[in-house]
Amino acid sequence: MSLLTATTYNSVQDIPSTIWEEIECVSNVYFSPEFLSAYEKSNPKVIFKYIIIKNNSDDAVAIANIQIIELSIDVILKNIKLSKFLKKVIDYFLCNNNLKIMFCGNVFLSGEHGIFLKKGIEKHDLFSAITKEVKRLSISKQLRPLHAIFVKDFYEDSLYITDELLNFGYTSMPVEPNMILTLNPLWKEFSHYKESLKSKYRIKVNKADKTSTHLKAKLFTEEDFAQYKEELQKLYENTIANADFNAQVLNLDTYINLRTIFKENFIVKAYFFEGKLVGFLSALITNNHLDAHFIGLDYTLNKQCAIYPRILNDYVRIGIEKRVTQINFGRTASEIKSTIGAEPEQLMCYIRHKRRRVNAILRPFFKMVKIKDFKQHQAFKNNKEA
């Protein structure tokens, strides 16, 4: 086992350029300095830190994103099944007030966007070094008062590494899955996708398009962001208020920065009704995937104009047009996403209270939490039906 050392930086700008080259992480957009900087610059209420792990040759071999925010325990547990007794216990020990929580991971996105380990290096050793540095940070004076640590989000094939956290007093906790649509390469246009759907789901897709015909859609440019910034922020915050879980409200200045950096690969499509902005979708194309980011909509017009179903349809249209292999719709609204063919990709998080005694009391209760169930629809024809 090589000797591993950890250094924590307070800003992307403080990290030497050679480190990004050594880790070889910039091919993953979510770990590029440009992407991380876009979020850091636009969200001053969030404390950002970056852990860099080096080997005994002084080469950087891993990076971890750290974000410290304040939120209520109700937000964390909003979409998790809890008995009244269990909720009272958690509220008692977590003060039922705003908590200062250290996240290892990107609070604005779902998926493995928190830790990058260089290929060819023993992953257990790297992950253990990151975990130890997270622990050191959690007891540092500069972050007081800190209540809890939340390490997010990991796919099933990563758990053999991340379960190392269980040895550090963390409790594993399932969260809502990402909903993934795998695109058939034979779908050259949206009609091909619809032909592959079972009749009742094809009817739903067609109804969404028909009901939303009064919407005027427009791909936004940087100039449009500036013109409609306040309306975009309001629509986004409408959606956040209705979400089952959201740790932090994103400042949509982030989108202006992302568009400047990624050009046409960062997409914002807006919807107007009678000249008024009533909805938008956002997405990033990376590594032949289309990742849905935040959306926003006017819920008072959603039923009348089918804004949300149209957004889902348009994500599929964009994916087919851009010839991506899959669309990640993110979590929340899992059932309706399954009606257009998306399948769940399970995610696991880890949580611990900073104080050892309180954590020991809470661990059995955290193990009891379950995510809310949803009906998974099978939208596509089987071989006999096709």
pLDDT at res. 106: 92
Residues 112, 65 within the same domain: yes
Identify the residue with better confidence: 362 or 246.
362
Does one domain contain both 162 and 243? no
Assess if residue 338 is contained within a domain: no
Question: Do 148 and 272 belong together in one domain?
Answer: no
pLDDT at 98 over 90: no
Of 209, 127, 217, the closest CA to residue 167 belongs to 127
Domain membership flag for residue 376 = no
339 falls within a domain = no
Return the amino acid letter for 348: M
For the chain, counts of helices (H) and of strands (E): 15, 16
Residue 386 lies in a domain: no
Q: Closest by alpha carbon to 147, among 107, 105, 100?
A: 100
Q: Is residue 377 part of a domain?
A: no
Please return the burial class of 84, using the count of CB atoms within 10 Å of its CB with bins 0-12, 13-18 and 19+: exposed
Question: Is a pLDDT exceeding 60 seen at residue 94?
Answer: no
pTM of the full structure = 0.91
Say yes or no: 26 and 162 in one domain: yes
Residue 141 domain flag: yes
Domain identity same for 140 and 9: yes
Instruction: Let me know whether 166 and 295 are in one domain.
Output: no
Same-domain check for residues 164 and 207: no
φ/ψ bin of 120: left (φ > 0), alpha (ψ from -120 to 50), beta (otherwise): left
Confidence label for 83 from pLDDT (cuts 50, 70 and 90): low
Q: For residue 42, is it within any domain? A: yes
Instruction: Report the pLDDT averaged over residues 19-23.
Output: 96
Quick check: 168 pLDDT over 70? Answer: yes
User: Could you give the number of structural domains in the chain?
Assistant: 2
Is residue 336 situated within a structural domain?
A: no
User: Each residue of 306-323: pLDDT tens digit?
Assistant: 999 999 999 999 999 999
For 382, residues 6+ apart whose C-beta sits below 8 A from its C-beta are none
Residue-range definition of the domain harbouring residue 245 = 184-324
Same domain, 201 and 299: yes
Helices (H), the chain: 17-23, 33-42, 73-76, 84-93, 123-138, 159-162, 190-195, 199-211, 222-227, 229-242, 253-262, 302-305, 307-321, 334-338, 356-366
Q: Are residues 171 and 189 in the same domain?
A: no
In terms of domains, do 147 and 211 share one?
no
Question: Where residue 262 sits, what CATH number does that domain have?
Answer: 3.40.630.30
Average pLDDT of the segment spanning 237-247: 70
Same domain flag for 214 and 313: yes
The answer to whether 332 and 295 are in contact (CB under 8 A) is no
The pLDDT, as a whole number, for residue 245 is 53
Task: Say if residue 279 is in the same domain as residue 136.
Answer: no
